[in-house]
Chain A
Amino acid sequence: EVQLVESGGGLVQPGGSLRLSCAASGFTFSTYWMNWVRQAPGKGLEWVANIEQDGSEKNYVDSVKGRFTISRDNAKNSLYLQMNSLRAEDTAVYYCTGGSGWDSDYWGQGTLVTVSS
């Protein structure tokens, strides 16, 4: 059974940092593109970033460039998102997703990040 389990969300003040993690199991993690997708409360989906199988290619939505860093550890079947200089508009549920291409075959249940003073 495929599982993606996110962790690391929580309440953080504006300007603060948070590191999200995603533990993968049930599929060959090292052969999949991985993504972070977020959803603000009551809003639609927004793709945040993705990373190639070996970590050599990374892409970001403009609104997080220079603030967020996506990374992976294939030996640990884990995906990460380092989030710095957080803003109120980054408040959302963050989903870890994986796909053989750039689409998202598999989704985690999400972790909530709240940026507020």
Chain B
Amino acid sequence: EIVLTQSPGTLSLSPGERATLSCRASQSVSSNYLAWYQQKPGQAPRLLIYDASSRATGIPDRFSGSGSGTDFTLTISRLEPEDFAVYYCQQCGSSPLTFGGGTKVEIK
């Protein structure tokens, strides 16, 4: 089973700032099948990024994903008020699929 470690656990930033979220895998993610999701309180998660760097339909271009192998990054170039939420990475390359523990992006 691939274990995903997200860091930091909490990121305190102001609107307009840049957010950099890390997801590290215990072994290489097959074909870089790494996804990122956003979850707001009381809501279901929403797919942001798939295959490490492809934006899902309707996702603003301030969200970008990068990385390969075991190290992946989600970057939010300029935080908007609606971006404060919890973000999860998920490896989708091998079963069992696994999620990271999440990074909470909160308003500073």
Contacts and interface: CB of A to CB of B under 8 A. Distances in A.
Interface stretch (A9-17, A59-67, A68-76, A78-86): A59-67
Given A44-B102, A47-B96, A102-B97, A109 B88 contact: no
Contacts of B47: 103-105, 107
Interface string B31-55: 0010101010000111100100000
Q: Which secondary structure dominates chain B's binding surface?
A: loop
Interface in A74-117: 95, 99, 101-105, 107-110
**Size class of the A contact interface (CB-based, 8 Å):** 20 to 34
Interface of A: 35, 44-47, 50, 59-62, 95, 99, 101-105, 107-110
Interface of B: 1, 33, 35, 37, 39, 44-47, 50, 56, 88, 90, 92-93, 95-102
